[in-house]
Structure 1
C-alpha cells in the first residue's frame, strides 16, 4: 500500500512538471476532465475520492442464477430498480447516471494531463476488474435503496444449455413482461430483440437479429462456443484477459476470448436491431447499462472469470504491478466518490460475495471433441454432444492444402462477405510454451457491429460451422453509435492454437491453414500481418 502511494505521488509530480508518462499504472481519472460527444460524463463531485476500504462487516451475499429466482426475490429486485429509476438524473445513484458512468468509461471519455490517449476499458486487460467494480457499487446502491444489506444481483446463466423446466439460456419472464403482478415492471426494457425474449434460446454465436435455428442445434452450438472461449482457447492469462495496457499507451488493442464472445454476442443478440440506433439498448455501449438485464449479464461474465481461474494450471490472474496498481473511481451508495485499485477486487470473497453453484455442461470434454477431462473439480453435468471434424480432409491431404493456400501480405488484406483462407508459418515449439496466432491492425467502422469466426484446416467453413471441431475463435465488436476512434486506430486479435491443433491431430505440420468468416455483418474488414508467437 505504501509503495503504491509513493508510485502515485511520483506519477503526479511528473504530470505537474509537464512530462509525458509512458508505461505506469493508471491514476484515478478526474471527472472534470471528461469529454464526451454523447453527454456521458458523470456528475462532478467537489470532494476528492476516498480510498476504497473492504467492508468486512457486510453480510455474505450469494448471487443466484436468474432462472431460480422466487417470487419474494423478484419483488425485492423489482423494488430496488423502481427506486433507482425514480431518482433524479443528477443523482449519481440513478440508473440514468449509472448508465452514463458506463458510457463514459467504455466510450473513451476520460482524459489525463500529459497523455496522448484517453482511457479505454474495453478490449484490454481492464475489462474484467473494471466491470467487477462497477457491479459491486451498483449492487451496493440497490441494497441501500431497499434497506437490505443482504441483497445481491442475479446472474443471467445463458451459458447453461441444460434442458428442463428452468432453463438458464432463456431470458426469465420477469425481464420480458411489461407488467408484473399487475404493476409496471421496472426490469422491462422495450428495446430488446424479439428473438431474445422467452421462449427463445439465447444464441451465443449471434451476429444480431434472429437466427431461426432449432433449439437442439443452438444448444450444441452454444456449448461449442463456450468450450472454445473458456477452455481450449484461453490457455494463458493474456488470451483470457486481453492486451497489456499501461498509462500513456493507446488502449483497446485487443480483448480476451470471453470479451468478444459470448460477452459481445449476447449484447448484440439482446439489442433491438430495428431501433433508431440499431441494437439499442444492450447492443450499443452508449446506452447498454440503461437495461437492468445488463447487470445480470455482466454478473455472469464475472462468475465465468471465477470459473476460469478455478480450472488451475496457467489459469491465474495477472500479476503485473501496473495492472494491480491502476485505479478507477465510482460513486458509492452514499454518493461519495471512491477510488479502488485493480488489485483490491481480484478476490471476490474480499468483497463479500460469491455465486450459486450451477452446472457448466460446456466444460464437458465432449463439447470440444476431447476424450479426457481437461479440468478437475468442476460440475460438467448436462447434455453435450461430442464435437466432430467437419472437413473430409485426411492428414495426407494437408500438404496440398497448405501449398494451395496463400501467405497474406503484411498489410492491406481484406475480409468481406466471402470467407478468406490463408496459411501461416509456425515457429518451432520450445518447452511447454503455447502457440498463439496474432492477426494485427484490424480496421473496421467502429460505430457498427462486426463479427468473425475462425477455423483451422477447414476452407469450406461457414458462419454457422462453430459446431465443428475446426472452429477456434471469434472476434466480436459491440458498437458505440457516435463514438469514432482516433484516425489510424486498429486492433489485434489473438487466438490460442496449441490445444486445438492437438484436438485436430495436426500438431505435426509446419504451417497452419486459417479460414475467416464474417458473420451477421458486411463490413470491409482490413487487417495486416498474421504471425504466430510463443507464450509461457
Structure 2
C-alpha cells in the first residue's frame, strides 16, 4: 500500500520554529488579476511581506451578523467583463475573452458521495509510464470536447474558464453590483481551489470511465521535484502548453521566491527550502497567517498582501516562474485569467492543497481551527462530472478525507531548513560604526542599498516586530525591497541566511490614484534567535532595492513590542 503524507506527519517529531515568514514575490513578470470597477477603488494594494498579516482586522471567532461569501449568480455573469492589467501599467485592459460558464437555472446542494476506494495523488516526477499515458488519455478526451461540444462544462476551455470567472471580473458579488467576487488573497483561497480540483479530477475520471482516477501533484517543495515534471514537457502531449517560460524547461530549478537573476542551482534549492520552512512554520501566530485574511459578503477584493503565507509564497512563485514573458500578459500561468489553460496549473495546485493538509498536521502553539460561520458557510458553484450545477460550501471540504483522496508521502526536507543559528552575535558597535540613525535617513527613497541604526524597545531577544510606515509607491511599477538585520556579510541573493527578515513587494496594479500608501510589519522574535542577538538596545537594518527603489518612499521605520497595535 502506498505510504501516505498524513502518516508521516502523525509520527514526526515537533519541528522547531523558524526565523520568520515567507519572502514576498517579485519578478519581471506578474500575476495579473483585476477588474474595471468604474469608480477606481483601490482593490489592488499588493503588499507582500514576511512576518504576519498587518492590519487585517480579522477575527477567528463568530460575528453577530452572518456575512458569508455567497455563490455567484450565473445569470449575471458578464461575458465582456474579463479584464487584466499589463505589467508596468495602471491601465485596466478589457480582454476579448468570455469566461462565463454555460447557464442553467437548475442547481442543487452538493452532497459528497460515498466511495469504496481512496484516490491516491502521487508525486508527478514519480509517475509510471502507464500512469502518464492514462493521464494523457483523460486530458485528450477533455480537449476533444472543445471541438465536439464547446458548451460542455466538462471541456478543457470551460474548465479553464472557471478560474478566470472567479478572479478576473465576470462575477460580481450577489447583491453588491460592481464589487468583485474574488477567490484569492483571503481565507477562501484554499477551500475554493480544493473544490475546483475535486471536480476537475472527477471529470477526468468520468471521461475515461475510472472513478478512482487521481491526478498527480507537482512536488516542488522536494529536491527531486524542483523542475517542471517531465510529463508536461513533451510537445506532442496533451499535457504540454507552449505558453511557458522557455528558460524554465528541462532541468531548470524552480525559484519559489519569485526572484530573478539567481542561476546557481544550489542556492536556488537552499532558498526554496528556507522559504518552505518559513511559510509553513515560522512566523505563524494564528490560522489566518497561513489561510489568509477574513473575507465576507460585501467586502472589496482583498489585496495580495493579505493572502496566507503559502499563497503569497511558493504558490505565487510557481505562477511567476512558469508564466511566459514572451506574452503581453505573461500567459498562461503568469495571469489568473489564463492560468487554467496550462495543465501544469492543476498539478501545481494539487501540491498547494497538499501544503494545506500538511500544515494542519504540523505541531503549533496556536489553534488552526477557524471557528467562524462566515468562513464555513461561504459557498461556490461548480459543474460536477455529470454536468449538474451544484452548490458547495467551505465547511464540506475542510475534512479532505471525506472527499475520497489522500496524498502519497514525499519527504519534507524543508522541515529542517531553519536558518543556521549564528554562533557569535554580530558586533553591533563595529557594525554600526559611522552609520546614521533611522531618524536621519527617513523619509527614504531606497535607490540603492542603505544601512542605518534602529533603537529597540527592549534589549536582546524580545518579542518584537519591525514596522515600515507610510510606504508610498507608484502603482504602475514593480517594486521589491529586501530587509536584513545585523548583516555583516551583505549577500542579498542568499535568503536562507539568519539575517534575512523579509520583503516588501508590489506588483503593478490599477487604483484610483497614482500612488498607494502601505505599512509593512515583520516579526522579529525568531529572527533574533537565529542571529543570536546580543543584549543590545538597537539593531542595524539593511534595505536592499531589487526593483524600482526610486518609485517608493518609506516614511519611517520603528521596532515595536508585538503586543503593540
TM-score by length of 1: 0.77
1:473 maps to 502
1:363 corresponding residue in structure 2: 415
Supply the distance in 2 between the matched residues of 1:535 and 1:353 (Cα, whole angstroms).
Answer: 43
Counterpart residue number, 1:372: none
Q: Give the deviation of 1:196 after TM superposition.
A: 1.7
Which range is displaced more, 120-129 or 514-523?
A: 514-523
CA offset digits 1:435-474 (Å, max 9, x no partner): 5556677776778765543333339756413032122334
SS of residue matched to 1:232? coil
CA 1:91–1:206 in 2, change beyond 3 Å: closer, same or farther? same
Distance 1:521 1:146 in 2: 50
Report the alpha carbon displacement of residue 105 of structure 1 after superposing the two structures with TM: 1.3
Shift of 1:475: 5.2
1:62 partnered with 2:120: yes
Q: Structure 1 residues 189, 387: CA separation in 2 closer, same or farther (over 3 Å shift)?
A: farther
Q: Tell me which of 337, 341, 352 is aligned to 1:286.
A: 337
Tell me if 1:151 matches 2:213: yes
Question: Is the aligned partner of 1:31 residue 2:82?
Answer: no
Unaligned 5+ runs, structure 1: 1-20, 162-166, 180-184, 370-385
For 1:411-426, list aligned pairs within 5 A: 418-419=448-449
**Does 2:226 match 1:169?**
yes
Distance in 1, matches of 2:387 and 2:216, equals: 23
Correspondence for 1:126:
188
**CA 1:504–1:513: 2 relative to 1, 3 Å:** same
User: 1:443–1:59: structure 2 CA closer, same or farther, 3 Å change rule?
Assistant: farther
Partners of 2:435 and 2:413 in 1: how far apart?
35
Q: Does the aligned pair in 2 maintain the 1:308–1:315 contact within 8 Å?
A: no
Given the alignment, which residue of 139, 164, 170 partners 1:103?
164
Once residues 125 and 408 of structure 1 are traced to their aligned partners in structure 2, the CA distance between those partners, rounded to angstroms, is 38
Residue 244 (structure 1) shift: 2.0
Question: Is contact 2:139-2:239 (8 Å) kept?
Answer: yes
Tell me which of 152, 177, 185 is aligned to 1:91: 152
Q: 1:74 to 1:113 in 2, by over 3 A?
A: closer
The 5 A counterparts of 1:381-400 are 386=420, 393-396=426-429
1:46 to 1:361, Cα distance in 2 relative to 1, 3 A: same
1:235 touches 1:315 (CA, 8 Å); kept in 2? no
Tell me the residue number matched to 1:3. Answer: none
Q: Does 1:73 align with 2:131?
A: yes
Q: CA deviation at 1:294?
A: 0.5
Alignment of 1:311-460 (within 5 A): 311-313=362-364, 314=366, 316-364=368-416, 367-369=417-419, 386=420, 393-396=426-429, 404-406=437-439, 418-419=448-449, 451-458=480-487
Distance in 1 separating the partners of 2:555 and 2:299: 20
Take 1:388 and 1:100, find their aligned partners in 2: how far apart are those partners?
A: 49
CA distance 1:415–1:25, change in 2 (3 Å): farther
Partner residue, 2:348: 297
Question: Once structures 1 and 2 are overlaid, which stretch shifts more, 36-45 or 391-400?
Answer: 391-400
Please tell me whether the aligned partners of residues 257 and 473 of structure 1 are also in contact (alpha carbons under 8 angstroms).
no
SS where residue 117 of structure 1 aligns?
Answer: strand
Q: CA deviation at 1:122?
A: 1.6
> Structure 2 vs 1, CA of residues 75 and 62 (structure 1 numbering), >3 Å: closer, same or farther?
same
SS of equivalent residue, structure 2 residue 563: strand
Equivalent residue for 1:218? Answer: 268
Does 1:230 pair with 2:280? Answer: yes
TM-score if structure 2 supplies the norm length?
A: 0.74
The structural deviation recorded for 1:328 is 1.4
Consecutive unaligned residues of structure 2, counting only runs of 5 or more, are 1-63, 83-94
Give distance in 2, aligned partners of 1:79 and 1:501: 53
How many residue pairs end up in the alignment?
476
Deviation at residue 61 of structure 1 after TM alignment: 0.8
Equivalent position SS for 1:467? coil
1:154 is displaced (CA, Å) by 0.7
Matched residue SS, 1:206: coil
Partners of 2:227 and 2:171 in 1: CA distance: 36
Deviation at 1:424, TM superposition (A): 7.0
Deviates more, 1:485-494 or 1:251-260: 485-494
CA distance in structure 1 between the partners assigned to 2:517 and 2:145 by the alignment: 39
1:6 alignment counterpart: none
In structure 1, what is the Cα distance between the partners aligned to 2:245 and 2:65? Answer: 43
Name the SS for the 2:257 alignment partner. Answer: coil
Residue 291 to residue 440, structure 1, CA distance change in 2 (3 Å): farther
Who is 1:503 aligned against? 530
More contact order relative to length (CA 8 Å, sep ≥ 6): 2
Determine helix, strand or coil for the equivalent of 2:295: coil
Per the TM alignment, residue 241 of structure 1 is displaced from its structure 2 partner at its CA by 1.8
Larger displacement relative to structure 2 (517-526 or 348-357): 517-526
Give 2:107's aligned residue.
49
Q: Which residue number corresponds to residue 551 of structure 2? A: 524
